[in-house]
Amino acid sequence: IKTNSSSQGVHVFPIYDIFDNEVGYFIALKEVQIDQWPIRELILITLVYILLLTIAIFFTRDKIRLNELANKDQLTDIYNRHKLIELSEREFRRSKRNGRVFSALILDVDQFKNINDTYGHAEGDLILKEIGKLFKNTLRAVDIYGRWGGEEFLIITPETSAKNALIIA
C-alpha cells in the first residue's frame, strides 16, 4: 500500500475459533521500499506470523479445554459442583439486584447404593448419564443444572416461584 510518505507491506491472516469459524484477522504492517523488497523477507515474515498465530491458537484451544474440564462433570457432561456454586452465587446476586425470585431444587436418586450393589457401578453410571441427558432435553435454556455430588443434582430456576418450581420438580 502506498501512502503519502512511504509504502507499507501488509500481511493479513484469518483467525479461527475452535469450531473453525473465522472470527477475525491478524493484520501486520511494515514500511518497505517496494522496488527493493526481497521475496525472501516476505516469506520469512509470513512464516513468523503463521508460527505465532499457530502457537496462539493452540494455547487458546488448550485454555478452553481446561476450562471445560474444570467446570463439567465428566460422567454426566453437565456442570459440576464447583461451577454450580459459582453460577448460583451469580444468580443470587442478579435476582437480589433485580428484585426477582429464583428457586433451587435438589434431586437425590433414592436407593442409588442398592442400584450399584445389585447391578454394578457401570449400570449406575448409565443411570447418572441418562439423568444428565434428561436435564439437557427437558429443562429451559435459562435453567442452571449440574451434578452436586454422587447421585445428587442441583437445578437453579431463574425467575421461578416456589409454586412453579414444584411443577418442574
Q: How far apart are CA 54 and CA 63, in angstroms?
A: 14
Give the SS3 label for residue 41. helix
35 in Cβ contact with 15 (< 8 Å): no
Strand arrangement of the beta sheet that strand 144-149 belongs to: 102-108, 152-158, 144-149
Which active-site residues does the annotation give?
Answer: 151
**Among 136, 134, 127, 84, residue whose Cα is nearest residue 109:** 127
